[in-house]
Structure 1
Amino acid sequence: MTREGIRYQRWLAMLLVMAGSAMGAGCRAADGIDAATTTVANAAASQSGDAMAPAVASDGRRALAVIGDSDSHSYHDGILLGQGSDGRGGRYHATTWQWTEVLGRLRGDQLDLGEWGTWGEAGLLARTQSALGEEDVRSPRKQDYRYNFAISGYGCDDVIGAPQREFPALARLMDGDPARWADGIVVIRLGVNTFGLQDDLQRLAQDPADPQVLADIDQCLQVIGQGVAMLRGQRPRLDILLVGIFNNAHWAAYTDQWQSAQAIGNIDRGLDRFDDGLKSLAGSDPHIAFFSDRDWFARHWGGRDQRGLPAYHPVRLGRLRVDNSQGDAPTNATLADGHAGTIWNGLWAQALVQALNDDFNAGLRPVTGDEIATLLRPAAD
């Protein structure tokens, strides 16, 4: 069946679901799907068996998927994030890159993040596709690498449960192409929107055992544990890298807050609960590893002094000086909207490649500073 025919059936199914809802939302078939939708599903199943042929795993690249939030959502998504000066990086948008985009540009010959394109559907259509039994169902609609499931604003309770959410959608994609994912890699970077925002840090600064924040941390660990089990399934050689939480007290926008050693220490002790939980999960399986985001930042920009006051130092890349400051120019660690800048993401991708080599023997070429510097040049295309 052609792609146009498949899309027609999707829209037909959606209209049937909407019609069924208008006539009586409570009238359902025994299996939870409208009888009309079941008829369309049976018709589709008989015609679209080869609609999505599996990718060929013989090109030598390792597939890499991402579960996460705006810390991983590609910046050049023109659907959800805007384009040109309206996109991340403002007037520097053309040379402002997420770490996923850095890997795609610098190590796309060794890591397969999937084709760049438009993936996913709006919620209602995605739910209809799921009811039809389609494998590659995801929501919302965005432009990104096919294997990057990260969505800006998502917290731990947004990535599991409904079939179109990040973990279930990725698991189905893997099931549809077992050869590609037999030795694939998944990076899971979650948590900041669940327990790492300003109000959460304020609670931890006062009490590192704040019950509300710790409950959110435990819930997030539970979700990640469930997601890991879901992805591993029948893929015992799938490698999973669990990224620890960043302490947003070091975010440029917050460096004027919590300026005492006790407050900073309390926040770190509270956040340790999450990282310790990830380490425990990683320690149970040689194909699961932990990456410390807090240690990574400290190696590059430092931190607070013994009094809890800002004592950050710049990162130098050739003649470029990058301070722990905020603004769209590449001399700032973070963008004007608070997300990581190109140099931050380039260095993060560099460290990620090293971690994949160290933990999973990935055999990737190390990312050099000179390569990171090229990211600031306008693309030839």
Structure 2
Amino acid sequence: MNRAARALSRTGCTVALLALAACNGGDAPAPADPGAPPRFALAVVGDSDSHSYQDRISFPEGDPARGGAYRAVTFNWYEILARLRTDQLDVGEWGVRGTRGRIARLLRAVGIPARAPRKEDYDYNFAISGAGCEDLVEGYRQVPSLLAMMDADPVPWRHGAVVFRIGVNSFGTQRALEALGADPGDARVNGAIDACVSALRESVARLHARHPDTRVVLVGIFDNTHWAMHFDHAWSPAALANVGRGLDRFDDALRAMADADDRVAFFDDRAWFHAHFGGRDAQGHGAYRTLEFVDGTRVENTLGDAPFHTTLADGHAGTLVSGRWAGSLLDFIGRQWGLDFRPIGDRELLALVAPAGPALVAGREREAAERTATPPGAH
């Protein structure tokens, strides 16, 4: 018996059974309607951009993260798809699953698949806040956990896709962007980019070795020079151009992966933001457009927990901008593989935040003094 197995034995049957229950936790799947068309299975691997905001284990009630006073109406892109397209998309059941890292390692050591960490989320959501590309195959082992789940029930994945949206924690931080701004060939950042691309290549290869019909969406990196969280940092036009060239190294590699395999598609996140919000002017000043909805609601590239900001106070995307992004991704998947998804309309998204009601108006007044979308001038 090896050391890990002996440790598991010492832990005792009770802990092992609890750990197993945690790994397989969550509600039992609802019976399928035999007359309904098959839903499209959609999984995600990534970081806090995709880890469900409504997870009450990672973000307990009263925690200011993920929306603060607006927590009840604050959702990310995956949660929005789960709420608005449950008849067309299969994201798995909502529930508590996973276990602590130490227990997960012990279970894996004796051949029992285990997810970590413990969180409340959809079954097909493997995204973990704080994850980097090193967590795809090693670390949190998102891809091995994903494959264990797919192997247990492979049928849905013959008509499904996995979205990979990861990288910002590996090479999109403020420090990394400043390094690219000074030199787009910065060895440290380029090394992190190359390692991320390598991890993604290995992840896709592993997936297709066992589930060859599953589609893959590779989401490009977001340019955090447009992130409202860091508008107190001034960027010169030359530095902005350098950052763009540096980030191209990642996106170009993902685009090449997609070009080489019709089961793989590349979703350009930087192009999406530019199409919806614009960017900075020739002097490096913010010149962002407003995202307008059919009822007159306007979403600006500002910071705050109310839904009319792009960015929550904790730095994550707000509900309405997440909804537009989710709709664009769904349209993209449909076009890419000839799937007939209903477009997500403005009124559906506005209904998600409608419970805020007067609080939304009060929020506008309360946050009137917040930072605007125009950062300080470059100098």
Q: Is the TM value for this pair above 0.5?
A: yes
CA offsets per residue over residues 24-73 of structure 1, 9 Å max, x none? xxx827xx743975998xxx9xxx9xx99999886511111100000101
- The equivalent residue for 2:309 is 332
Distance 2:242 2:317 in 1: 25
- Give the match for residue 44 of structure 2: 66
Counterpart for residue 108 of structure 2: 130
Task: Give CA deviations for 1:57-113 in whole Å, capped at 9, x if unaligned.
Answer: 865111111000001011000111222453411101100111111001101111111
Q: Quick one: which amino acid aligns to residue 28 of structure 1?
A: N
Which position in structure 2 is the counterpart of 1:253? 229
Q: 2:307 touches 2:318 (CA, 8 Å); kept in 1?
A: yes
Q: Could you list the runs of 5+ residues in structure 1 that have no partner in the other structure?
A: 1-26
CA contact (8 A) 2:100 2:117 kept: yes
Contact kept in structure 2, 1:118 and 1:142, CA below 8 Å: yes
Q: How many residues align?
A: 342
Query: What is the alpha-carbon distance in structure 2 between the residues aligned to residue 131 and residue 259 of structure 1?
Result: 48
Partner of 2:343: 366
The CA distance in 1 between the partners of 2:7 and 2:169, in whole Å, is 39
2:69 counterpart residue number: 91
Q: Distance in 2 between matches of 1:181 and 1:158?
A: 22
**Correspondent of 2:201 among 222, 225, 232:** 225
Matches within 5 A, 1:1-381: 28=2, 33-34=5-6, 37=9, 60-84=38-62, 86-135=64-113, 137-161=114-138, 165-317=141-293, 318-378=295-355
Q: Which residue in the other structure is 2:367 paired with?
A: none
User: For 1:123 and 1:355, how far apart are their aligned partners in 2?
Assistant: 36
TM normalised by structure 1 equals 0.84
Worse-superposed segment, 257-266 or 298-307: 257-266
C-alpha contact 1:321 1:331 (8 A) present in aligned 2? yes
CA–CA distance in 1 between the matches of 2:291 and 2:256?
32
State the SS of the aligned residue for 2:202.
helix
Structure 1 residues 235, 329: CA separation in 2 closer, same or farther (over 3 Å shift)?
same
Q: C-alpha separation between the residues in 2 aligned to 1:280 and 1:82?
A: 41
Listed one character per residue, the Cα deviations across residues 208-236 of structure 1 (whole Å, up to 9, x for unaligned) are: 11110000000000001111111112322
Q: Which sits farther off after the overlay, 251-260 or 100-109?
A: 251-260
- Which is worse superposed, 206-215 or 311-320? 311-320
Q: Which amino acid aligns with 1:190?
A: I
Cα 1:159/1:36, change in 2 over 3 Å:
closer
8 Å CA contact 1:252, 1:324 repeated in 2: yes
Q: Secondary structure at the match of 2:188?
A: helix
Secondary structure in structure 2 of the residue aligned to 1:186: strand
Change (3 A) 1:125 1:305: same
Tell me which amino acid in the other structure corresponds to 2:268: S
Deviations 1:303-326 (A, max 9, x none): 001121111111111211111000
1:362 shift after superposition? 2.5
Answer whether contact 2:8 2:106 (CA < 8 A) is retained.
Answer: no
Which ranges of 4 or more aligned residues in structure 1 deviate by more than 4 Å? 35-40, 51-59
* Most deviating of 81-90 and 267-276: 81-90
- State how far apart, in whole Å, the 1-side matches of 2:61 and 2:47 are: 19
3-state DSSP class of the match of 1:372?
A: helix
Cα distance, 1:237 vs structure 2: 1.4
Q: Residues of 1 paired with 2:8 and 2:96: CA distance?
A: 29
Paired AA for residue 331 in structure 2: Q
CA distance in 1, matches of 2:7, 2:334: 51
**1:356 aligned counterpart, secondary structure:** helix
Kept in 2: contact 1:65–1:147 (CA 8 A): yes
CA gap of 1:252–1:123, structure 2 versus 1, over 3 A, is: same
**Structure 1 residues 95, 84: CA separation in 2 closer, same or farther (over 3 Å shift)?**
farther
For 1:329, what is the secondary structure of its paired residue?
coil
CA distance in 1, matches of 2:8, 2:318: 49
Asked if the contact 1:249/1:258 (under 8 Å) is kept, the reply is no
Change (3 A) 1:291 1:36: closer
> Which stretch of structure 1 is more off in the superposition, 175-184 or 124-133?
124-133
TM-score normalised over the length of structure 2: 0.84
Identity of aligned residues (%): 47
**SS in structure 1 at match of 2:163:** strand
Structure 2 unaligned blocks of 5 or more: 357-379
Residues 55 and 211 (structure 1 numbering): CA distance in 2 closer, same or farther, change over 3 Å?
A: farther
1:338, 1:324 → 2: CA distance?
A: 12
CA offsets per residue over residues 315-346 of structure 1, 9 Å max, x none? 11121111100001112110011100001100
